[in-house]
Amino acid sequence: MARTPDVSLETSLSRLSDWDGVSVFEPKIPLCAFEKNELYTLLTEGYGVKKFRVKQIYQWLYHHLVDDFDEMTNLSKALRERLGKSARVRTTLAGIGHIASDGTTKFTFKLFDDAVVEAVFLPFETRNTLCISSQVGCAMGCTFCFTAQMGLVRHLTPDEIVDQVVFAKKWARDRDQNVSNIVYMGMGEPLHNLDAVIKSVAIFKHEDGLNFSRRKITVSTSGLVDAMNTFMDESDVQLAVSLNATTDIQRSKIMPVNDRYDLETLMRSLKVLPLDKRQRITLEYVMLKDFNDTIEDAQRIVKLTKGIKCKLNLIPFNPHPGSPFETPEEENIEKFQEYLRSKKVSCFRRKTRGRDEMAACGQLGEPGERPLPKHLKKRLEILHSDRMNAK
Ligand code: SAH
Ligand code: SF4
């Protein structure tokens, strides 16, 4: 049975604005956009804050997870007021959207320009994963993905990314839980918003703050090869790559990025990525019925992944309005997985979560009345007509 959300979106939005006294959307400096050393410079040089106070402020932000300067009770009232005049702690208005029957919880974040992004809390037996967004919408136009229908509205700023984790951590803490893993698999293509993503990762990892281990953070890309190489040079967290098809013709039909970086280019780059001994790349494979779920596809996966330190995650397609695809039958997914395992490909099945509340992979976003992006519309038309011809 679906659990009832304990706080409605409206209530929590209005509560947050009451809390703040002034609108959080006033143009103020967002403290959560800065790495610790930058914050240090900003506060000591910009505000004349003493060194030890910066440490205290950092702890208020990332240990106590406060929403307001007034909660920083070991700072003088005068300092709190001075900071409050031109800086801010929170950047978004956050609310609890839906809790699905499996406990998956969708959070909604309203941004200063009224744009909305979502993050999803996924409780597992041994960990709680938070799936976060990096953009409002997405420019990549993958034909199986709901977010693609929005097109790219805009990139998120680092503080808008950080806010999602801080809010979820606080929400989890109130329930005696924790966020143990972060995956950049919500709305958007993280490597299209490289600088903000790199900065947010650094903030998540900082040992004096949220202190996530590099092994507990995963950034997923549709295969922007150049940005991926830059990212792997600058960051040491886990990488996931959405493979999703086994030939160029097939992949280009569902992922326009393949026209720019084809399979050979992508797989060649994965082979030479600098990985440490234990590190493996996660390859994600959305299974689309009668499109990429045959044994021939599985055979091609064996060839494609040769020489790449990877594990494969099979994600059964999550349906959404306007999609030409269906989820393969359970039996087919199992056969596909068994074949790959028999060929020694390390292959897992991504458990489907939150589907009943549109909180699963590829179900995030709110295209509303927006027209479909042109490149997506054209590809969808081709896929729909392929399906008609196949019938
Ligand atoms: N833009 C990044 C990360 C966000 S999408 C990327 O594409 O990798 C996260 C994952 O969800 C990707 O592996 C993507 O292929 C998958 N996905 C998208 N739409 C889906 C759907 N409808 N059903 C199942 N998985 C989907
Ligand atoms: Fe963007 Fe990822 Fe969706 Fe493709 S699958 S449209 S890259 S969010």
Distance of CA 69 from the midpoint of ligand 1 (Å): 38
pLDDT at residue 361 tops 70: no
Of the CA atoms within 13 Å of residue 162, those in its CB half-sphere come to 29
pLDDT at residue 261 tops 50: yes
Atom of ligand 2 nearest to the CA of 141: 6
State the pTM of this model. Answer: 0.91
Q: For residue 26, which of 87, 71, 81, 78 has the smallest C-alpha distance?
A: 87
Mean pLDDT of 273-294: 95
**Hey, which of 189, 192, 320, 350 would you mutate to test ligand 2's pocket, going by the most ligand atoms within 8 Å of its Cβ?**
189
Mean pLDDT of 297-301: 98
Catalytic residue at 361?
A: yes
- Looking at the structure, do residues 153 and 265 belong to the same domain, yes or no? yes
The packing angle between helices 225-234 and 263-271, to 10°, is: 20
- Looking at the structure, do residues 65 and 131 belong to the same domain, yes or no? no
Distance of CA 219 from the midpoint of ligand 1 (Å): 12
Contacts of 319 (CB under 8 A, 6+ apart): 325, 326, 327, 355
Distance of CA 380 from the midpoint of ligand 2 (Å): 15
Between 286 and 93, the more confident residue is 286
Considering 32, 118, 145, 357, which one is annotated as catalytic?
118
Mean pLDDT of 63-86: 95
pLDDT number for residue 354: 66
pLDDT number for residue 314: 97
Residue 173 sits in a domain whose CATH number is 3.20.20.70
> CA 195, 107, 330 angle in degrees (round to 5)?
95
In terms of average pLDDT, the best of 2-6, 36-40, 242-246 is 242-246
pLDDT number for residue 99: 83
Residue 3 lies in a domain: no
Lowest mean pLDDT among 7-21, 148-162, 247-261, 307-321: 7-21
- Looking at the structure, do residues 333 and 376 belong to the same domain, yes or no? yes
**Reported confidence tier of residue 365, pLDDT bands at 50, 70, 90:** confident
Q: In the structure encoding, which two tokens stand for residue 308, read together?
A: 């790449």
Residue 20 sits in a domain whose CATH number is 1.10.150.530
pLDDT number for residue 369: 66
Q: Alpha carbon of 219 to those of 186, 197, 239, 240, 372: distances in Å?
A: 10, 9, 5, 6, 26
Q: Report pLDDT digits (tens) over 97-110.
A: 778 888 899 999 99
- Looking at the structure, do residues 132 and 63 belong to the same domain, yes or no? no
pLDDT number for residue 391: 64
Q: In the structure encoding, which two tokens stand for residue 377, read together?
A: 């519309």
Report the amino acid identity of residue 295.
Answer: I
Considering 32, 310, 347, 361, which one is annotated as catalytic?
361
pLDDT at residue 21 tops 50: no
Lowest mean pLDDT among 159-163, 255-259, 374-378: 374-378
Catalytic residue at 264?
A: no
Residue 18 lies in a domain: yes
Cα 179 from chain centroid (whole Å): 14
Residue 4 lies in a domain: no
**Reported confidence tier of residue 384, pLDDT bands at 50, 70, 90:** confident
pLDDT at residue 322 tops 70: yes
**Reported confidence tier of residue 114, pLDDT bands at 50, 70, 90:** confident
**Hey, which of 315, 353, 355 would you mutate to test ligand 1's pocket, going by the most ligand atoms within 8 Å of its Cβ?**
315
Ligand 2 interacting residues, C-beta cut-off 6 A: 138, 140, 142, 145, 147-148, 188-189, 222, 362
Range of the domain at 238: 93-390
**Reported confidence tier of residue 355, pLDDT bands at 50, 70, 90:** low
pLDDT at residue 69 tops 80: yes
Q: Residue whose CA is closest, atom 3 of ligand 2?
A: 145
Q: Mind giving me the DSSP string for 363-390?
A: -----TTPPPPHHHHHHHHHHHHHHHHH
Ligand 1 interacting residues, C-beta cut-off 6 A: 144-145, 185, 189, 220-222, 242, 244, 284, 286, 315, 317-318, 320, 361-362
Distance of CA 222 from the midpoint of ligand 1 (Å): 8
What does pLDDT average to over the chain? 89
Between 385 and 31, the more confident residue is 31
Query: Considering its fold, how many domains does the chain have in total?
Result: 2
- Looking at the structure, do residues 20 and 127 belong to the same domain, yes or no? no
- Looking at the structure, do residues 67 and 160 belong to the same domain, yes or no? no
pLDDT number for residue 356: 63
Distance of CA 187 from the midpoint of ligand 1 (Å): 9
Mean pLDDT of 208-218: 96
- Looking at the structure, do residues 76 and 98 belong to the same domain, yes or no? no
Of 51, 67, 88, the residue at which a domain comes to its end is 88
